[in-house]
Chain A
């Protein structure tokens, strides 16, 4: 990442400007998503507020219907986490191909963002399962594979901290990141492969989203991706800057 990269921009704005624009836009979109979700999106399957509704022949209380609102936050975060770890794996492959230290930093920062998203997903998912399934945790395929993903991402950092040699650390981390990323598509597909009727399959044709629900969901999705990208970019900046400072320090001492 030299000077040329910093000056490069898109549509006349520099990356810096885009970063803050997208951060603002992402924040606005996710907020609008939540406002829409709570104030405008109808309750699932057109149930009315107040009392209970009958869904698939089962009486469901309002508490459950409202707990569904977390969908508008939980799903965008979860999907972002899958996408970001795939980016981390992509940067890891690039690193192994080029041995360019920049790609190592990018892969690490992307994995950090994944860790953040994964933890958010687990927390929001947990809040939902508490009301929906009456348990904080259920050993259900989607939850299990996602838990595995969390452990893999955590293991990535444990591995990094445990290798002293810098070059070796980067290579090991890249290899492990690629292996860990295999779990992301598995976890994404598992509700389709092993249907247990517990964790809902959201993205499918003929899914039950009405117009305003779909709008809110898509806004949240894009907003969350923008935020993830900006967080990635900011952390990347910081890492590259500290890298340069270290290099300058070393140059000054010698």
Chain B
């Protein structure tokens, strides 16, 4: 477990770093650029790519070493398995975010005065990550048993997560540039987006929780 944690964290962290590097490629031909208006979107993109990698890894390991069968044999309730896996994925995602969010700020948003407080940023990240980890765990459990594996995960995961990501990009964008783009209105905008995202989380987590039993039993 210890070993795997290290491996997961290094691969996810490194991957996120590479995504940030590739972002620079997109801006490399302009002398001075300002990514602030699209900063929130870029940050979420990095998180989505990294989480795709992490979700897939976390279940491929289970499958390769027969851990999932062992878990099924053990006298634990099936819903508990879902919570365990989802909580694990959420934890990994949060740790990686703690690394890449300051890094992103350092690399791309240095001269920006953020509109919102840090806790608002953290709350938006948490609501998004909660949905990603919950639904992602369900979809990854499906996709590891298919022929396509990570390809299938991406095909299913991105459209399902889209509404949540849309809301979370809006929330994060309000935190980063709200004062500049919508002066006076951004706090309301932030809470509205966060509310929508939390609602989507609630529905999706409930569905994922209810259906996980079928997936893991099949």
Contacts A162-B147, A178-B207 known; A148 to B159 CB distance under 8 Å? yes
Size of the chain A interface, CB-CB below 8 angstroms: 25
Contacts A158-B148, A163-B145, A175-B142 known; A182 to B204 CB distance under 8 Å? yes
B155 close to A155 (CB less than 8 A): yes
Most chain B Cβ neighbours within 10 Å, of A96, A172, A178, A182: A172
Interface stretch, picked from B11-19, B110-118, B210-218, is: B210-218
A171 close to B215 (CB less than 8 A): yes
B214 close to A162 (CB less than 8 A): no
Interface residues of A in 153-194 (CB under 8 A from B): 155, 158-159, 162-164, 167-168, 171-172, 174-176, 178-180, 182-183, 186
Instruction: Tell me the complex Cα distance, A144–B207, Å.
Output: 23
Instruction: Tell me the complex Cα distance, A230–B166, Å.
Output: 37
Instruction: Tell me the complex Cα distance, A171–B216, Å.
Output: 10
Chain B residue numbers with a CB within 8 Å of A116 are none
Chain B residue numbers with a CB within 8 Å of A182 are 203-204, 207
Chain B residue numbers with a CB within 8 Å of A158 are 148, 152, 155
Chain A residue numbers with a CB within 8 Å of B162 are 144, 148
Contacts A167-B218, A182-B207 known; A172 to B142 CB distance under 8 Å? yes
B142 close to A180 (CB less than 8 A): no
Q: In whole Å, how far is A73's beta carbon from the nearest beta carbon of chain B? A: 26
B163 close to A186 (CB less than 8 A): yes
Chain A residue numbers with a CB within 8 Å of B207 are 178-179, 182
> What string of 1s and 0s marks CB contacts (under 8 Å) between B57-91 and chain A?
00000000000000000000000000000000000
Chain B residue numbers with a CB within 8 Å of A163 are 145-147
| B156 CB contact (under 8 Å) in A96, A144, A176, A178 | A176
Q: Can you report 12 residue pairs joining A to B where beta carbons are below 8 Å apart?
A: A144-B166, A151-B159, A152-B159, A155-B155, A158-B155, A159-B156, A162-B152, A168-B145, A168-B218, A179-B135, A182-B204, A183-B163
Which residues of B come within 8 Å of A, CB atoms?
135, 138, 142, 145-148, 152, 155-156, 158-160, 162-163, 166, 203-204, 207-208, 211, 214-215, 217-218
Which residues of A come within 8 Å of B, CB atoms?
96, 144-145, 148, 151-152, 155, 158-159, 162-164, 167-168, 171-172, 174-176, 178-180, 182-183, 186
Further contacts, 16 of them, CB under 8 A, given A152-B160, A159-B142: A145-B163, A151-B159, A155-B156, A155-B159, A159-B155, A162-B146, A162-B147, A163-B145, A164-B147, A168-B145, A171-B214, A171-B215, A172-B142, A176-B142, A179-B160, A182-B204
